[in-house]
DNA sequence: CGCCAGTTTGACCAAGATCAACGCAAGTGG
DNA sequence: CCACTTGCGTTGATCTTGGTCAAACTGGCG
């Protein structure tokens, strides 16, 4: 089982039941977790350090203890694209068994658990219930990618920025004060915009009272309805 | 196993080994296929017919016998987004167990096999090797979505069109003469462009001899190198 | 033949990119 | 402790890509 797997998991693999029904492994889960902890080794990375590079052998995966990670790719002419951000509790790096197709980098200082792929596979063979977790994880990844496809394909700059803020709020489960660990450049490359456009849109939102920006890495949502109205799918 | 699953499968589930190694179920596969055939029922849809709608209960999935299907979504203000095209041999509609988040429509006339989800789940519980197929399928979906993210986020119109043509060629496994079942409008909504831009780019490619367009639904690749150079990631 | 749907082309427009300053806070070194 | 640098972030002016609007073309079909 589990020879190759998804790009990453925007959710709490092994520590929390999947959001949608199914009631997985209520009993076994903790045991698995303990087993996993012993398989993993703690690593830390400084800001902008490369956790793995495009082209590396994909022989391990990671779970974030603290910090934020970006999954990204540099095009030949220097254009950069960020496929995903992962936060504390998320898993990432479960990509195909061959080479990495994206790089993973630390957005700020990051601490992760590193898991050997082969060892994990053995564990999963013993406890097939874990396979179900993996599938759920990949499903969520896929659903999220689909949402982003719509965003990048059909949304205007203000809609993208509004979506981004609401997504941040939802992931961190806060209603008002957002911590924004990534730079404006990261946000731009995530939303398919330029840094200037991101700034301008944020400034416009600040001007009309939708948000407040006490400092660049902290944004407060003052008028959530306005944000939601901006997205309006 | 398999309570909820990916958006669709751009590949040959159950009929062909996965492209990347792993050598799955060499022996059992045919038996499964036979079992499945008996679970499924043949359905046909006319051009533009809705196979399922956004919001429908996701209690079945499909494998395409012939024709092309688009997975799409209409935004409130009429903007349309096509998440994916599926062709003969592909599976789709394995989305989450709740409601459909996208609609599926027939691009031309389409024949599909329709499979009941619950029955399939039972089959998979009996033959866990099938779960591995599912995971591979989702992995491919995910990898493809990631590629499209890059396309929509960071590529110019000519790059998008060139990618599209090369993707078509690769999927159909032809080197020169492409059948293009979908309309220019479909292509535009798939690439995040307008129909006019798609036309203009195709016309430009025709002008400089990269492609020939004997009729709107047939495109010939005359200079594959030029196409590949256009994409150049 | 004329209509219809889809495609193509052209003229013009605007959202967002690019280029260029400027601001501002956190180091750094004299 | 204070100039000076450095790295972001913000703002403005201008340009370009691709969108919008409108008209012409094409091939099938009653």
What does the pLDDT look like over A25-47, one tens digit per residue? 223 444 555 566 677 899 999 99
End-to-end alpha carbon distance in chain B: 38
SS3 A14: coil
The whole-angstrom distance between residue B100's C-alpha and the CA centroid of its chain comes to 16
Chain A positions in Cβ-Cβ contact with residue B142 (cut-off 8 Å): 6-7, 138, 141-142, 145
Enclosing H/E stretch for A228: helix A224-231
pLDDT of residue A7: 52
Q: Are strands B69-74 and B80-86 parallel, antiparallel or unpaired?
A: antiparallel
Q: Does B128 lie at the interface with A, CB-CB under 8 angstroms?
A: yes
Residue A2, chain B, CB below 8 Å: the answer is yes
Interchain contact A52–B (C-beta under 8 A): no
Tell me the CA–C1' distance in angstroms for A73 and D4.
35
Q: Which residues touch strand C (CB under 7 A)?
A: A 156-158, 192-194, 196-197; B 183-185, 195-196, 198-200, 202-203, 213, 216-217
Q: Does the C-beta of A195 come within 7 A of strand D?
A: yes
CATH architecture of A155-231: Orthogonal Bundle (1.10)
3-state SS, residue B65: strand
Instruction: Scan for tokens 């167990």, then name that residue.
Output: B97
Indicate the class that CATH gives domain A8-140.
Answer: mainly beta
Q: How far is CA A129 from the centre of its chain?
A: 24
Chain B: residue whose CA lies nearest to A94: B139
Question: How far from B73 is each of B90, B119, B160, B163, B177, CA to CA, in Å?
Answer: 20, 28, 20, 22, 30
- For the record, the structure tokens of B195 come out as 């129909």
pLDDT digits (tens, 9 = 90+) for A161-203: 999 999 999 998 888 999 999 999 999 999 999 999 999 999 9
Judged by CB atoms closer than 8 Å, whether chains meet at A97 and B20 is answered as: yes
Residue A20: partners with Cβ closer than 8 Å, 6 or more residues away: A136, B4, B96, B97, B98
Q: What distance in Å separates residue B233's CA from the closest CA in chain A?
A: 5
- Which A residues between 153 and 192 have a beta carbon under 7 A from any strand D atom? 183-185
Tell me which residues from 176 to 195 on chain B have a beta carbon below 7 angstroms from nucleic acid strand D.
192-194
**B120 phi/psi in degrees, rounded to 5:** -65, -40
pLDDT in tens, A50-96: 999 999 999 999 999 999 999 999 999 999 999 999 999 999 998 77
Contact B146 A97 (CB under 8 A): no
pLDDT tens track of chain B, all 233 residues?
A: 444 444 555 444 444 433 322 222 223 444 555 566 677 899 999 999 999 999 999 999 999 999 999 999 999 999 999 999 999 999 999 877 789 999 999 999 999 999 988 888 888 777 777 777 777 788 889 999 999 999 999 999 999 999 999 999 999 888 899 999 999 999 999 999 999 999 999 999 999 999 999 999 999 999 999 999 999 87
> Would the pTM of this model clear 0.85, i.e. be above it?
yes
Closest residue by Cα to residue A60 from A39, A81, A78: A39
Q: Helices marked H in A115-194 — which ranges? A: 117-126, 129-154, 157-172, 184-191
Q: Which of A157, A149, A231 is nearest to A194 (CA)?
A: A157
- Nearest-angstrom CA–CA distance, B104 and B182: 14
The separation, in Å, between residue A184 CA and nucleotide D11 C1' comes to: 15
Reference B63, options B100, B11, B103; nearest CA is B11
- State, as a whole number of angstroms, the distance between the CA of A105 and the C1' of D4: 31
CATH no. for B8-141: 2.60.120.10
A200 Cβ within 7 A of any nucleic strand D atom: yes
Chain A residue with minimal CA distance to B23?
A3
Q: Domain limits of chain A? A: 8-140, 155-231
At residue A12's C-alpha, the angle toward residues A9 and A13, to 5°, is 70
B74 reaches A (C-beta below 8 A): no
**CB neighbours of B79 closer than 8 A, spacing ≥ 6?**
A154
Mutation target to probe the B interface, by most B beta carbons within 10 A, among A149, A188, A231 is A149
In chain B, residues with a C-beta closer than 8 Å to the C-beta of A192 are: 152-154
């Amino acid at each position: 089982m589990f020879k190759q797997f998804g790009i990453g998991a925007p959710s709490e693999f092994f520590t929390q039941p999947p959001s949608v029904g199914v009631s997985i492994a209520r009993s076994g889960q903790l045991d698995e977790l303990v087993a996993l902890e012993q398989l993993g080794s703690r690593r830390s990375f400084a800001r902008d350090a490369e956790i793995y590079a495009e082209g590396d052998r994909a022989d391990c995966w990671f779970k974030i203890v603290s910090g934020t990670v970006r999954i990204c790719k540099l095009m030949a002419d220097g254009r950069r694209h960020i496929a995903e951000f992962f936060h504390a509790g998320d898993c990432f790096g479960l990509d195909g068994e061959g080479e990495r197709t994206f790089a993973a980098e630390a957005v700020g200082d990051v601490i992760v658990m590193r898991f050997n792929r082969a060892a994990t596979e053995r564990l999963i063979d013993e406890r097939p219930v874990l396979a179900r977790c993996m599938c759920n994880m990949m499903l969520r990844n896929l659903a999220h990618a689909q949402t982003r496809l719509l965003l990048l394909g059909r949304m205007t700059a203000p809609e993208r920025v509004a979506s981004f803020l609401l997504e941040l709020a939802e992931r961190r489960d806060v209603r008002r004060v957002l911590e924004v660990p990534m730079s404006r450049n990261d946000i731009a490359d995530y939303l398919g915009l330029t840094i200037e456009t991101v700034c301008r849109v944020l400034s416009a939102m600040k001007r009309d009272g939708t948000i407040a920006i006490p400092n660049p890495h902290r944004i407060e949502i003052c008028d959530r309805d306005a944000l939601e109205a901006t997205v309006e799918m």
